[in-house]
Amino acid sequence: MEIILKQDVENLGHKDDVVVVRDGYANNFLIPTGQAIVATPSAKKMHAENLKQRAHKEAKIKNDAIELGKKIEELTLTIGAKVSNTGKIFGSVNNIQIAEALEAEGFSIDRKMIAVSDVKEVGTYTADVKLHREVKVKVNFTVVAE
C-alpha cells in the first residue's frame, strides 16, 4: 500500500515522503495513529501542491535571513564588562549580552541562536549567529571596560 507520511517515522521515512508499506502496517498502525494517510491520486495531487507552496515560503524565509545576515555582518557591537586591573573580565561575555546588544541595534535575535566562545579578556571577538537552517553569519563585537 502506498502512503504519505504526516510525520517522521523511524526506519521508514521523513515527513511528506511517499512510501510503500504492507497493508496491515498501514491499516492497523500508521493510519489509525495519524502518522500517515493513504496515497490516493487526489491526496498525491494535494501533497504535490502543498510541497510546492512550502518550497516557495521556505525560499522567501531563507532570502530574508540572507539579507538580515548581510546587515548583521557589517555591525561591530560594543559590550561593556567589569574588568580587573590586569584586563581580565569578572565572569565572561555570553550570548545573552550579545543578544541584548543586537536588540539595541534594532535586530531581534533569539539568544539560543547565538554561539560565542569563551571571552575572558578585553578585546575584539566574533560570535556565530544562526539565522536559518542554512544561513549562519559572524558578528564582530568588542569588549571594553566599564
Please tell me the predicted confidence (pLDDT) of residue 66.
93
pLDDT digits (tens, 9 = 90+) for 64-112: 999 999 999 998 899 998 888 887 888 888 899 999 999 999 989 999 9
pLDDT digits (tens, 9 = 90+) for 3-36: 999 998 989 988 889 999 999 999 999 999 999 9
* pTM flag (> 0.75): no
Query: Which three-class secondary structure string do you get for the chain?
Result: CEEEECCCECCCECCCCEEECCHHHHHHHHCCCCCEEECCHHHHHHHHHHHHHHHHHHHHHHHHHHHHHHHHHCCEEEEEECECCCCEEEEEECHHHHHHHHHHCCCCCCHHHEEECCEEECEEEEEEEECCCCCEEEEEEEEEEC
Hey, what domains does the chain have and what are their CATH numbers? 2-66 (3.40.5.10), 72-145 (3.10.430.100)
> Higher confidence at residue 5 or residue 146?
5
pLDDT band at 136 (very low <50, low <70, confident <90, very high): very high
